Amino acid sequence: MAVRAGARGTRRAWRLAVAGLCLLLVPPLTGCGARGAGDTAQAQVQRVLDRRAAALLHHDETAYDATGSRTQYARLTALPLASWRYRVTTVHRGSAGATADTELDYRVAGYDTVPVSVRRTVTLGRTADGAWYVTGDRPAGASGQQLWDQGPLTAFKGAHSLVLGAGQNSGELRTYARLADRAVPAVSGAWGTDWTRRVVVLVPRTLDGMAGLLGAPASDYRGIAAVTTGEAGGSGQAPADRVVVNPEAYVALGGTGKQVVLTHETTHVATRAHTTAATPLWLSEGYADWIGYLGTGRTPTEAAPELARAVQDGQTPAQLPSDKAFGFTSDPTRLAQAYEGGWLACRMIADQWGQARLGAFYRSVGTHRQRPGAVEAALKKVLGTTPKEFTARWRAYVRAQLT
């Protein structure tokens, strides 16, 4: 799955080739794009999109205009692109034009080591002499939007971050970049430096914009300050993760809360290659919260208020939180308790076994191909304990810290 990740009480859950072809300042479908005998509509459309991609990469507005609508060009001028390429899979012809099913691959310069691949539907018109030109470009089907679908982009590049906003001014983006730039070294200090040490943050205008990027109902993310999208596992073939912010929830946080959220999300970016199907959410979310709260001075009862109330009412949880407890549509109190329980489990490991062992435990769990046996094996190998002993120790730790 595209691992969902996020921040406590405010959470998560993404998906998150240079077209070096002929670039001519001429009308569509002439020169390199000319139609030959026996040309198919798909081949003709592919050439138009190849020329369009090349014009975008070379910042040649005139050549881009020659391929049709310039709306997307105006929206993408702030995005630092290393590559942009369409692959036409099907063309559906109509009486006055056509619709093309395409795969768009693109890379953000300095952040994506391999292309992000998204499905797009391109609409085309046709001139009197039969030349195709682009009239629109939108997400295909239920696919999530890209940030440029929501309007012109504004970019701010920090020391370790790239913040992209739609409907946001550069001052607001500078604030996000400052927090992200603090998060990156904080995460490296605890986790290590075996990751890119860069983060891309997407800031849409509204909650609805966030939901559009994630391809899900806005109700799933109300009150969720940010999520991280990405591909689990260490294949090395996944593009850089994106931290997607809900500006409506994020703005309600205090200064410490905002920093905790971005540090938490940056932890997910750093640990992605070691986060697999074997990793339970109490560990991935708890570890991200553990790093997020380092150095904040927050006490356990301040950082885990919902679980503290339950414990003080005599309701200490019997087991570590299940994956199901982390669902965004869960009861808010139970969701908060799940994050708090995972955080305290990781905090306990760091307190009682040491920070190095906590990191080693996380990595060890992720080496397993599947969930069954992964935690058990890592507990034995790294911490020298069993699930039963660990759970009992965690329950005692939770009571001691929260009462």
| Assigned token pair, 241 | 């993760």
pLDDT at 331: 84
Kindly provide the b/e burial profile for residues 77-94, where b requires at least 16 CB atoms within 10 angstroms of the residue's own CB.
eebebbbbbbebeebeee
Spacing of C-alpha 87 from chain mean position: 24
**pLDDT tops 60 at residue 27:** no
304-335: pLDDT as tens digits: 999 999 999 999 999 999 999 998 776 889 99
Amino acid, single-letter form, for residue 49: L
Range in 26-35, 190-199, 352-361 with the lowest mean pLDDT: 26-35
**pLDDT tops 90 at residue 109:** yes
**pLDDT tops 90 at residue 238:** no
Are 281 and 323 in contact by the 8 Å Cβ rule? The answer is: yes
SS3 of residue 27 by DSSP: coil
pLDDT at 143: 81
Other CB atoms within 10 Å distance of the CB of residue 334: 15
**pLDDT tops 70 at residue 147:** yes
Quote the CA–CA distance of 366 and 326 in Å, as a whole number: 19
CATH 3.10.450.50 location in the chain: 31-144
Q: Higher pLDDT residue, 273 or 3?
A: 273
HSE of 199, CA atoms in CB hemisphere, 13 A: 33
**pLDDT tops 70 at residue 150:** yes
For 211-246, give the DSSP string. Answer: HHHHTS-GGGTTT--EEEE-B-SS-S-SPPPEEEE-
Average per-residue pLDDT for the chain: 89
**pLDDT tops 70 at residue 115:** yes
E strand or H helix at 187, and its extent? helix 170-191
Query: Averaged over 220-234, what is the pLDDT?
Result: 84
pLDDT at 400: 98
**pLDDT tops 60 at residue 223:** yes
CA neighbor of 8 nearest in space, from 220, 291, 224: 224
pLDDT at 17: 31
pLDDT at 381: 98
For 32-93, give the DSSP string. Answer: GG---TT--HHHHHHHHHHHHHHHHHTT-HHHHHTTB--HHHHHHTTS-EEEEEEEEEEEEE
Query: Averaged over 358-363, what is the pLDDT?
Result: 98
| Assigned token pair, 380 | 């034995």
237 band by pLDDT with thresholds 50, 70 and 90: low
Quote the CA–CA distance of 53 and 33 in Å, as a whole number: 13
pLDDT at 141: 85
73-107: pLDDT as tens digits: 999 999 999 999 999 999 999 988 999 999 999 99
**pLDDT tops 80 at residue 392:** yes
Quote the CA–CA distance of 375 and 365 in Å, as a whole number: 6
pLDDT at 3: 39
Residues above pLDDT 90, as percent of the chain: 81
184 band by pLDDT with thresholds 50, 70 and 90: very high
255-308: pLDDT as tens digits: 999 999 999 999 999 999 999 999 999 999 999 999 999 999 999 999 999 999
For 117-178, give the DSSP string. Answer: EEEEEEEEEE-TTS-EEEEEEEE-TTPPPPGGGGS-EEEEE-SSEEEEEES--HHHHHHHHH
| Assigned token pair, 160 | 């370790």
The CATH class that applies to domain 31-144 reads alpha beta
Helix-helix angle 387-402:332-352, to 10 degrees: 110
How many distinct helices (H) and strands (E) make up the chain?
A: 14, 10
Query: Averaged over 162-189, what is the pLDDT?
Result: 96
